[in-house]
Amino acid sequence: MIYLDYNATTPIHPDVKKAMEPFWDKEFGNPSCSYTLGKKAYRAIEKARAQVASLINARENEIVFTSGGTESNNTVFKGILWALKKRGNHVITTQIEHPSIINPALFMEQLGFEISFVPPNKEGIVDPQEIKRHIKKETVLISVMHANNETGAIQPIAEISKMAKEYNIVLHSDAAQSLGKIRVDVNKLGVDLLTIAGHKLYAPKGIGALYVRKDIPFLPLIHGAGQEMGRRAGTENVPYIVALGKACEILQKRLANGENERIAYLRDKLWNGIKDLNVVRFSPPICLPNTLFVGFKGLLGQDVLNAIPEILASTGAACHSKEIKLSHVLAAMGVSFEEGKGAVRFSIGYFSTEEEINRAIELIREQVPKLQEKTSK
């Protein structure tokens, strides 16, 4: 098995697994309890909060733990948008966001908010001027993802931030895909809100966080007792919070020691090994170092992956009731059906090896020409 789907999810890092282990049974206390067992759990959460904050250059009290990227995005579009309502009811987002942004946005549209979905250019990058064109006096929130999950395209968040500041608009960025793959600094990016998803960065599924800059109006998505400084009720998932903190600590070191250059080298090697196979590249030059989104011309992405079951990767087109539909990202980029239907996303991670990439190239070079010959007959 050659796992090339790290943008879908990552395995838990062994040190992360080790860090969370005591909190299943030995250190099982409720962090709200005042005896030692409870206090130890509380302190473990606060340590994790500091680890997450450190990775993104935030303050500890600006981190709210959630159940994942989807909940963080829903908190922004429901709780925070509701808190901003007295200022205005217009939101600007993009056509290439993850469904956990697009669907809450459409839901809020039904409740009376107005949402502008800005298209990207043909490289899948959103032009800040295009965002500016949509700003009006009722605009209270701009939400643009940091890096796209399919193409890996990195969006010009710092530039968008300058405009947001100029017009006093709250800026959110979904960094589920970028965190741990490139440096993410909330102050350099100039964001007020940032989404974090644990399972994209070697922590378990079902844990995440939302960065909330001090003084940003906030209403919770989940009401209950006073956990998470009153911002997210429910007894904390201590083992997973500890895991997220540890994963952030590991990634901070890896980013500092240039590990991502190795990943970019493997990604480039994969591209150079297959680019002569009548294939188009959808990932633009300004892109996550681990992501290679390509289209095998004349073929179906799923047929390519079916022919090479050893490689685990994702397609960019899905079959809905016998009809092939391009992903909303490719459609927004204006990719033709012929090119887009052959889309396959390879995404590399910390456990990928050069041997795996060599083998993947070998397998693709073996199978794709055979498929191309079959379909041209």
Ligand X SMILES: Cc1ncc(COP(=O)(O)O)c(C=O)c1O
- Comparing CA positions, the residue from 312, 289, 309, 304 lying closest to residue 343 is 304
Residue 175 or 317 having the CB closest to ligand X: 175
Pick the piece of the chain touching ligand X (CB under 6 A) from 172-180, 272-280, 284-292, 303-311.
Answer: 172-180
In the complex, the smallest distance separating the C-beta of residue 370 from ligand X, rounded to whole angstroms, is 32
Helix (H) or strand (E) holding 69: helix 69-74
Burial of 255 (0-12, 13-18, 19+ CB in 10 A): middle
Q: Cβ distance 66 to 208 under 8 Å?
A: yes
In the complex, the smallest distance separating the C-beta of residue 274 from ligand X, rounded to whole angstroms, is 24
Q: Which of 94, 100, 155, 283 binds ligand X (CB under 6 A)?
A: 100
Site mask, ligand X, residues 123-162, x = CB under 6 A? Answer: ----------------------x---x-------------
Q: How far apart are CA 7 and CA 5, in angstroms?
A: 5
In the complex, the smallest distance separating the C-beta of residue 12 from ligand X, rounded to whole angstroms, is 14
In the complex, the smallest distance separating the C-beta of residue 13 from ligand X, rounded to whole angstroms, is 16
CB atoms within 10 A of CB 344: 28
Residue 89 or 149 having the CB closest to ligand X: 149
Pick the piece of the chain touching ligand X (CB under 6 A) from 27-35, 66-74, 303-311, 327-335.
Answer: 66-74
Q: How far apart are CA 262 and CA 268, in angstroms?
A: 10
In the complex, the smallest distance separating the C-beta of residue 101 from ligand X, rounded to whole angstroms, is 7
Q: How far apart are CA 369 and CA 48, in angstroms?
A: 49
Dihedral (CA of 277, 283, 285, 291) sign: negative
In the complex, the smallest distance separating the C-beta of residue 92 from ligand X, rounded to whole angstroms, is 17
In the complex, the smallest distance separating the C-beta of residue 77 from ligand X, rounded to whole angstroms, is 12
Residue 237 makes contact with ligand X by CB under 6 A: no
Residue 286 or 307 having the CB closest to ligand X: 286
Q: Which of 79, 128, 204, 208 binds ligand X (CB under 6 A)?
A: 208
Beta strands in 82-202 (DSSP E): 90-94, 114-118, 139-143, 170-174, 193-197
Residue 212 main-chain phi, psi, to 5 deg: -125, 110
| Nearest residue to ligand X on Cβ basis | 69
* b/e code 120-156 from CB counts within 10 Å (16+ = b): beeebbbbbeebbeebeeebbbbbbbbbbbbbbbbbb
Residue 64 makes contact with ligand X by CB under 6 A: no
Q: Which of 29, 31, 68, 220 binds ligand X (CB under 6 A)?
A: 68
What lies within 8 Å, CB to CB, of 173 at 6+ separation is: 143, 144, 145, 146, 155, 157, 189, 191, 193, 194, 195
Burial of 35 (0-12, 13-18, 19+ CB in 10 A): exposed
Q: Which of 20, 29, 42, 70 binds ligand X (CB under 6 A)?
A: 70
Q: Cβ distance 125 to 284 under 8 Å?
A: yes
Residue 197 makes contact with ligand X by CB under 6 A: yes
Q: Which of 10, 139, 177, 283 binds ligand X (CB under 6 A)?
A: 177
Q: Which of 63, 81, 170, 176 binds ligand X (CB under 6 A)?
A: 176
Q: Which of 29, 31, 69, 301 binds ligand X (CB under 6 A)?
A: 69
Q: How far apart are CA 244 and CA 262, in angstroms?
A: 23
Residues recognised as catalytic:
319
Residue with tokens 């681990």: 290
In the complex, the smallest distance separating the C-beta of residue 291 from ligand X, rounded to whole angstroms, is 11
Residue 274 or 343 having the CB closest to ligand X: 343
Residue 68 or 284 having the CB closest to ligand X: 68
Q: How many residues bind ligand X (CB under 6 A)?
A: 14
Residue 246 main-chain phi, psi, to 5 deg: -65, -40
Dihedral (CA of 40, 42, 48, 51) sign: negative
Q: Which of 98, 181, 267, 341 binds ligand X (CB under 6 A)?
A: 98
Q: Which of 174, 192, 249, 339 binds ligand X (CB under 6 A)?
A: 174
- What part of residues 23-62 is at the interface with ligand X (CB under 6 A)? none
Q: Cβ distance 194 to 184 under 8 Å?
A: yes
Give the binding site for ligand X (CB under 6 A): 68-70, 73, 98, 100, 145, 149, 174, 176-177, 197, 199, 208
